[in-house]
Amino acid sequence: MANDLYERIYAVVQRIPEGKVATYGQIAEMVGAPRAARQVGYAMAALGRGRPRPDVPWHRVVNARGESSIGGEQIRRLLDEGVAFDANGRINLKRHGWHDYEESGLFG
């Protein structure tokens, strides 16, 4: 079922450490759907729709450019976690990008 994909996405998002951010495509690739980044985005949307998931840090998920797709509270939460935005309004993925999941022994 596609619902399993959701749970998988949520599980990955939960693995995102504080002060780090992950891109949709990155998560999509983690769950085994490198071309289904759209579903990742919708899965996040489903969180604030009718499925409250306080245990899922959806605000740590940004697009490939390191920008916040929805902004607002997401940016506010990221700033509160220590994630800084540059002059272009983008996050330095080199610094805050979550590329430690391989070394975390999760999917590696």
Partner DNA sequence: GGCCTGACCTCAA
Partner DNA sequence: GTTGAGGCCAGGC
Question: For DNA, what does the binding mask look like between residues 39 and 58, x meaning CB under 7 A?
Answer: xxxx-xxxxxxx-------x
Q: How big is the site for DNA, counted in residues (CB under 7 A)?
A: 36
Give the Cα separation of 68 and 89 in Å (integer): 9
Which residue from 19, 33, 90, 97 is in contact with DNA, where contact means CB under 7 A?
33
Q: Which of 24, 78, 91, 93 binds DNA (CB under 7 A)?
A: 24
Among 1, 54, 55, 103, binds DNA (CB under 7 A): 1
State the greatest distance between any 2 C-alpha atoms of the chain, in Å, as a whole number: 42
| Binding residues vs DNA (CB under 7 A) | 1-3, 5, 23-26, 28, 33-42, 44-50, 58-59, 61-65, 69-70, 74
